[in-house]
């Protein structure tokens, strides 16, 4: 049995998640795992569950919660929880707890880095960081000392990331770290170590003006938020960039500037050594001739360049129809606006680009060059609908073309390789070994596409008044083999997370008029349906169903997002929070929203002309940000950023 707290709380036995019961029971287990193999008093548990206002029955309640946890863990053999005087101890072998493994791997990586074995250190840091699936005990709100222990593990994660970036910079991988550093600085704007790493990476990439602008932004943030100037170390780094200090070219980078190492502290590998390892020697970074020629111009124009950057940024903040918009998660204000194709809807995020599917094409916003490229989908594949990435980094676009005989479409899937160019389409034909065209009813063929660890999932079944096949196509990106998952009902939305594919479906109960109360099959009248969420666990083919609402007017679940310890589902008038392990509905929020995303510390939902920010811990609306131009039609989020598609017409 494995215990996981680096992310949402999970207990896994033989590859299957163990149902952990109620929120309070999971809180108790979380605290016991934070102090695994140590005595935890009953008073400590009470403090973390209820804070300063525990109920009179708190002691009895804790006893009940521990008893239920014992039953949940009973399948692993002997009871791992022992009762001591006034408390409990949970026995867990270190290799069975992800936090213990993570701490050990980080310590090993730091030791390797100290010895100068940087490649091995990077690999070990990667192993450690892969254990984190999100914030520690995501979705569980501890009220007392547990908060500090959770914060310590999250701090360890950030420290490991910064240590790994130091190794990457010492190995000359400044270009590869720039996007990650941009995200991290946005998430932790007061971390001067991240600011220094970003400045060094920009300088080594030949972007001195951007490095100086990064310092100016760091100083502005520190002064505005804390009323303090940057540290002496960060100021010395700025001065070193201005004078092209040779120590910036060494493996130590900022350490040399700040007097902690000499330029010769780590001698470069010899050619013979590199050839022995079967690798070409990596030359140290040196400015190109044109950079040296322009250095004086850059120095004289640094202030003007910074002003130009600010001016360009300010002009980009006006939201326009048919645009990709980056919103500040803290203020809801637009940070960046880039016009893309007409009627952008789905958004896909990669480390180097943001993609949108438009009415008749696909747009790619390059995060490094800030340019937008638009590629038409091959004419025979028709209108694009959905977009997803597989684990190799290839992009897949689903699309359909209308038949001349009936309002139906043929579904296609198009592979986009790692560049912006689009290759030819392949016919999406679930359940058939031939390359024949599968005819599907409008309007849902291929509307949703999501990738899991090994497959691409695409909705191809019927939706709406026309009869359909109620299928989800499952594509293996490696073999290009397509199989079909047959559903009892029509599918409306897809998402992947917690080793599970989540499918929104609806069951038709007939069609009715809200005015007359009559029921008959008439496409002009409203549809009466049951909305469901179906879970397909990894390695299984039979879905497990959760009924969200019965006999309602609408088209079933509109959007699904996974994160912060829950599965979030929107219908035409409600937001549902689902426990991903028990499949129980934990909360309902009456909210007329459309698309949904989880990231940047919140749950985000689109309204017709707005974006709503929801606290995933309290399930309460924090704030609704108005979008005064166009219609909010799609959302996507990372751990630090929020992206929005604004359409010129209703979605």
pLDDT digits (tens, 9 = 90+) for 347-359: 888 767 888 888 8
Is 47 among the domain residues? yes
CATH code for the domain in which residue 310 is found: 1.25.40.10
Is 210 among the domain residues? yes
> Is residue 295 located within the same domain as residue 321?
no
Is 396 among the domain residues? no
Give CA–CA dist 274/387, Å, rounded: 42
Host domain of residue 209: 172-264+290-315
> Is residue 16 located within the same domain as residue 52?
yes
Which of 119, 145, 170 is at the close of a domain? 170
Cβ(497)–Cβ(562) under 8 Å? yes
- Compare 447 and 190 and report the one with higher pLDDT: 190
Which of 129, 153, 170 is at the close of a domain? 170
Give CA–CA dist 326/394, Å, rounded: 24
For residue 247, what is the DSSP state? G
3-state SS, one letter per residue, for 144-187 = CCHHHHHHHHHHHHHHHHHHHHHHHHHCCCHHHHHHHHHHHHHH
Using CA atoms, how far residue 523 sits from 239, 447, 456, 494, in Å, is 71, 21, 32, 25
Taking Cα atoms as reference points, which of 452, 350, 454, 330 lies closest to residue 393? 350
Which of 170, 200, 229 is at the close of a domain? 170
Is 570 among the domain residues? no
Is 470 among the domain residues? no
> Is residue 178 located within the same domain as residue 298?
yes
> Is residue 80 located within the same domain as residue 162?
yes
Task: Tell me phi and psi for residue 72, to 5 degrees.
Answer: -65, -30
Specify the 3-state DSSP secondary structure of 213.
Answer: helix
> Is residue 50 located within the same domain as residue 70?
yes
Among 249-253, 303-307, 599-603, 636-640, top mean pLDDT goes to 599-603
pLDDT at 105 (0 to 100): 94
> Is residue 191 located within the same domain as residue 96?
no
Buried b or exposed e, range 192-230, using 16+ CB within 10 angstroms: ebbbbbbbbbbbbbbbbbbbbbbbebbbeebeeeeeeeb
Mutual angle of helices 232-242 and 208-226, in 10-degree steps:
160
- Compare 437 and 117 and report the one with higher pLDDT: 117
Is 419 among the domain residues? no
> Is residue 138 located within the same domain as residue 223?
no
Whether the pLDDT of residue 517 is over 80: the answer is no
- State yes or no: cis peptide before 443, omega within 30 of 0: yes
Give CA–CA dist 594/337, Å, rounded: 21
> Is residue 52 located within the same domain as residue 163?
yes
pLDDT at 107 (0 to 100): 93
Number of domains within the chain: 3
Is 115 among the domain residues? yes
pLDDT at 516 (0 to 100): 33
> Is residue 177 located within the same domain as residue 164?
no
Is 270 among the domain residues? no
> Is residue 131 located within the same domain as residue 246?
no
Cβ(220)–Cβ(234) under 8 Å? no
Query: What pLDDT, in 10s, does the model give residues 133-147?
Result: 989 998 888 877 888
CATH code for the domain in which residue 126 is found: 1.10.10.10
Q: Are strands 2-4 and 81-84 parallel, antiparallel or unpaired?
A: unpaired
Whether the pLDDT of residue 88 is over 80: the answer is yes
> Is residue 9 located within the same domain as residue 151?
yes
- Lowest model confidence (mean pLDDT) among 271-280, 396-405, 471-480, 502-511: 271-280
DSSP string across 284-338 = PP---HHHHHHHHHHHHTHHHHHHHHHHHHHHTTS--SSEEEEEPTTT--EEEEE
Whether the pLDDT of residue 219 is over 80: the answer is yes
Q: In 10 A of CB 418, how many CB atoms?
A: 11
- Compare 76 and 4 and report the one with higher pLDDT: 4
504, β-bridge pairs:
493, 533
DSSP string across 381-420 = G-EEEEEEE-TTS-EEEEEEEE-SSSSEEEEEEEEE-SSS
pLDDT at 401 (0 to 100): 57
> Is residue 159 located within the same domain as residue 92?
yes
Query: What pLDDT, in 10s, does the model give residues 560-569?
Result: 998 888 999 9
- Lowest model confidence (mean pLDDT) among 55-59, 242-246, 391-395, 427-431: 427-431
């Amino acid at each position: 049995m494995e215990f996981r707290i680096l992310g949402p709380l999970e207990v896994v036995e033989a590859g299957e998640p163990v149902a952990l019961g109620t929120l309070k029971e999971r809180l108790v287990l979380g605290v016991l795992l934070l102090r695994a193999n140590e005595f935890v008093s009953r008073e400590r548990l009470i403090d973390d569950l209820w804070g300063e206002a525990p109920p009179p029955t708190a002691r009895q309640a804790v006893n009940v919660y521990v008893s239920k946890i014992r039953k949940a863990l009973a399948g692993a053999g002997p009871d791992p929880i022992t009762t001591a005087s006034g408390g409990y101890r949970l026995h867990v072998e270190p290799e069975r707890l992800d936090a213990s493994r993570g701490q050990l791997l980080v310590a090993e990586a730091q030791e390797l880095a100290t010895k100068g074995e940087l490649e091995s250190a990077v690999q070990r840091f990667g192993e450690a960081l892969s254990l984190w699936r999100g914030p520690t005990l995501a979705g569980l709100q501890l009220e007392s000392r547990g908060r500090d222990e959770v914060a310590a593990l999250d701090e360890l994660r950030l420290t490991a990331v910064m240590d790994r970036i130091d190794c990457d910079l010492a190995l000359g991988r400044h270009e590869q770290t720039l996007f990650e550093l941009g995200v991290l600085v946005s998430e932790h704007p007061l971390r001067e170590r991240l600011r220094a790493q970003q400045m060094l990476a920009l300088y080594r990439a030949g972007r001195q003006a951007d490095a100086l602008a990064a310092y100016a932004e760091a100083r502005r943030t520190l002064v505005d938020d804390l009323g303090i100037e940057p540290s002496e170390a960060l100021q010395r780094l700025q001065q070193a960039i201005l004078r092209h200090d040779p120590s910036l070219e060494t493996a130590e980078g900022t350490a040399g500037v700040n007097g902690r190492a000499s330029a010769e502290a780590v001698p470069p590998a010899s050619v013979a050594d590199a050839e022995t390892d079967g690798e070409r020697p990596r030359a140290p970074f040196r400015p190109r001739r044109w950079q040296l020629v322009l250095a004086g111009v850059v120095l004289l124009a640094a202030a003007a360049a910074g002003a130009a950057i600010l001016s360009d940024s300010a002009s980009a903040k006006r939201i326009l129809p048919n645009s990709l918009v980056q919103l500040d998660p803290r203020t809801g204000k637009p940070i960046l606006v880039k016009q893309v194709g007409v009627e952008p809807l789905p958004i896909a995020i990669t480390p180097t680009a943001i993609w949108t599917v438009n009415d008749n094409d696909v747009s790619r916003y390059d995060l490094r060059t800030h340019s937008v490229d638009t590629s038409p989908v091959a004419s025979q594949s028709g209108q694009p609908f959905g977009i997803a990435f597989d684990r190799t980094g290839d992009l897949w676009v689903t699309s359909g073309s209308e038949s001349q005989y009936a309002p139906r479409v043929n579904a296609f899937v198009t592979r986009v390789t790692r560049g912006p160019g689009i290759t030819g389409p392949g016919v999406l034909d679930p359940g058939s070994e031939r390359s024949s065209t599968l005819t599907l009813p409008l309007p849902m063929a291929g509307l949703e596409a999501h990738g899991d660890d090994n497959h691409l999932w695409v909705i191809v079944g019927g939706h709406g008044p026309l009869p359909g096949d109620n299928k989800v196509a499952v594509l293996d990106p490696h073999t290009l083999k397509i199989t079909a998952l047959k559903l009892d009902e029509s599918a409306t939305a897809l998402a992947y997370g917690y080793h599970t594919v989540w499918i929104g479906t609806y069951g038709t109960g007939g069609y009715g008029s809200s005015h007359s109360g009559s029921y008959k099959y008439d496409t002009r009248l409203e549809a009466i349906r049951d909305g469901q969420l179906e879970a397909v666990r990894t390695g299984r083919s039979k879905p497990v169903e959760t009924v969200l609402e019965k006999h309602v007017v609408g088209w079933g679940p509109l959007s699904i997002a996974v994160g912060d310890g829950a599965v979030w589902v929107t219908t035409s008038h409600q937001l549902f929070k689902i426990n991903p392990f028990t499949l129980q509905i934990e909360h309902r929020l009456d909210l007329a929203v459309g698309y949904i995303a989880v990231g940047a510390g919140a749950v985000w939902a689109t309204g017709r002309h707005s974006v709503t920010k929801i606290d995933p811990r309290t399930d309460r609306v924090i704030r609704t940000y108005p979008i005064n131009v166009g219609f909010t039609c799609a959302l996507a989020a990372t751990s630090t950023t929020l992206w929005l598609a604004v359409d010129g017409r209703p979605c």
